[in-house]
Structure 1
Amino acid sequence: MNRLHSKRALVTGGTSGIGLETAKQFLAEGARVMVTGSSDESLAEARRQLGGDALFSQTDAGDLQAQAKLAQQVRDAFGLLDVAFINAGIGVFMPLEAWDEAAFDRSMAVNFKGPFFLLQALLGTFANPASVIFNGSVNAHLGMPASSVYSATKAGLISLAKTLSGELATRGIRLNTVSPGTVTTPIYGKLGMPADALQQMKDGLTAVIPLHRFGSPVEIAKAVVFLASDESTYAVGSEFILDGGLTIA
């Protein structure tokens, strides 16, 4: 396939999971790709997997100054940008009484504030037409315990894709969201749960998913490719829920 031939693409949080798989799919579809990651180690691993055809930037997704710097790096590398998959995020799950202001602010900064101001910083860099895809979550639609802040940040992105679509459509910028359900990514290993408790949680989720399995990063990445390509030019402000039927169960 060559659906993204010559398109210039940015993938934030592109060093693992859905972001890394999307970067692979973008490259396979003919795009030029810049990937961001938060550490030298993660970027080194992504470089090993993606090879010399991708560009890399160490960027803190929750740092506003870093978003402006990233936008300048994109301009220097590509001139104009055709596709942005704004994927970088963190998942922190705690009951209400466990949250403090610092943890709340960090989740909001990485998952919502950073993406908002990255989009602002990139405004003068987007080609016409251009496609922006946010990585949301089905948690925005579920009342899952301990997910209050994470779910709120993802609901914010879904809303942002809709409201900014009306604002930016005349500039040729389309915004859409993919909202994955349970997907096999490294995020589960970062929850700090004991192995037996983590397996119990996974088993419980699998039992209520109509397909009775977790999704794979490539299944989400393929949807992102569609939204990035010219095949989706009539998709504006939409949300693609990819959850194996979890939200209809």
Structure 2
Amino acid sequence: MERFNGRKAVVTGGTAGIGLAIARALLEDGAEVLVTGSTEQGLQAARRELGPRARVVRSDTSKLADIAALGALVERELGRIHAAFVNAGFSKLTPFDRVTEEEYDRTFAVNTKGAYFTAQRLAPLVHDGGAFVFTTSVADELGVPSLSAYSGAKAAVRSFVRTFATELLPRGIRVNAVSPGFTATPTLGVTGASKEEVAAFEKEGNELTPMGRIGSPGEVARAALFLAFDATFTTGAELPVDGGLSQL
């Protein structure tokens, strides 16, 4: 029996990496899923990967007009939903003394403003007793060189998880976060990284992670689904999926 039959979910930033793995896992177990992405290449690839059962739509999480349109689309296409995975993200490896205002603003617009207003718009559509799962990062508590803006943006999201969890308690909606470490996505989560930079980052991840390897998108997806559907007595929490990097 497909465990998510009758369940409906939204995954922002779901056309690649961790978001795509979450969407795939939901679909494989029978859920109805609406996935967002911001590039035509990513949208087309996700449609091929996920198949006709997935609704794959363009939406830029940094733009409030797109968030409003997404909410209207979700309401029209799915009605009420059981889980919202707020996963869209943006990061660049830049030493803090070279971060420009443009890069800083983009980092916070996608990771922080986007997450905040996506939750605000989708919350009325989440069933009482449903769940939000945000994607934060091990960077929100570690001093990772060249990720200062991203670390600050994700730390803000970690704080949102606590306050949103408090505000949504009366409706029984649980709000949690999954916190990945080094994860084997095509860019390892770094926008615009070259093949050489990705290879170096992966090597660093294998060396620094206590478990001796980087994680897979599927491992993060399973943790996210646990928080959304199985962790029924957990709210306001951040679950590390980082091979012990933030704990040991």
The TM-score bracket by the shorter chain reads over 0.9
C-alpha contact (below 8 Å) 2:188/2:202 kept by paired residues: no
C-alpha contact (below 8 Å) 2:131/2:173 kept by paired residues: yes
The change in CA–CA distance for 1:21 and 1:149 in structure 2 (over 3 A counts) is same
Unaligned runs of 5+ in 1: none
* CA-atom RMSD in angstroms: 1.6
Moved more, 204-213 or 191-200: 191-200
Question: In the TM superposition, what are the counterparts of 1:139-154 in structure 2 within 5 Å?
Answer: 139-154=139-154
The offset of 1:4, in angstroms, is 2.0
C-alpha contact (below 8 Å) 1:136/1:178 kept by paired residues: yes
Moved more, 127-136 or 96-105: 96-105
C-alpha contact (below 8 Å) 2:90/2:191 kept by paired residues: no
Count of matched residue pairs? 248
Distance in 2, matches of 1:112 and 1:242, equals: 21
Question: In the TM superposition, what are the counterparts of 1:1-12 in structure 2 within 5 Å?
Answer: 2-12=2-12
The offset of 1:195, in angstroms, is 4.2
C-alpha contact (below 8 Å) 1:91/1:187 kept by paired residues: no
Q: Determine the structure 2 residue equivalent to 1:156.
A: 156
- Give a deviation string over 1:100-149, Cα, whole Å, max 9, x none: 22211111010010110111112321211210000010011111111111
The offset of 1:203, in angstroms, is 1.9
Q: Determine the structure 1 residue equivalent to 2:219.
A: 219
Q: Tell me the SS of whatever aligns to 2:92.
A: coil
Distance in 2, matches of 1:126 and 1:188, equals: 30
C-alpha contact (below 8 Å) 2:182/2:188 kept by paired residues: no
Unaligned runs of 5+ in 2: none
- Taking every aligned residue pair, what percent have the same amino acid on both sides? 39
AA partner of residue 244 (structure 1): G
Structure 1 runs of 4+ aligned residues shifted over 3 Å read: 188-198
The offset of 1:42, in angstroms, is 1.0
AA partner of residue 73 (structure 1): L
TM-score, structure 1 as length reference: 0.94
Q: Determine the structure 1 residue equivalent to 2:99.
A: 99
Tell whether 2:180 aligns with 1:180.
Answer: yes
Distance in 1, matches of 2:30 and 2:236, equals: 25
Distance in 1, matches of 2:126 and 2:193, equals: 41
Question: In the TM superposition, what are the counterparts of 1:1-249 in structure 2 within 5 Å?
Answer: 2-188=2-188, 190-193=190-193, 195-229=195-229, 231-249=230-248
Q: Tell me the SS of whatever aligns to 2:182.
A: coil
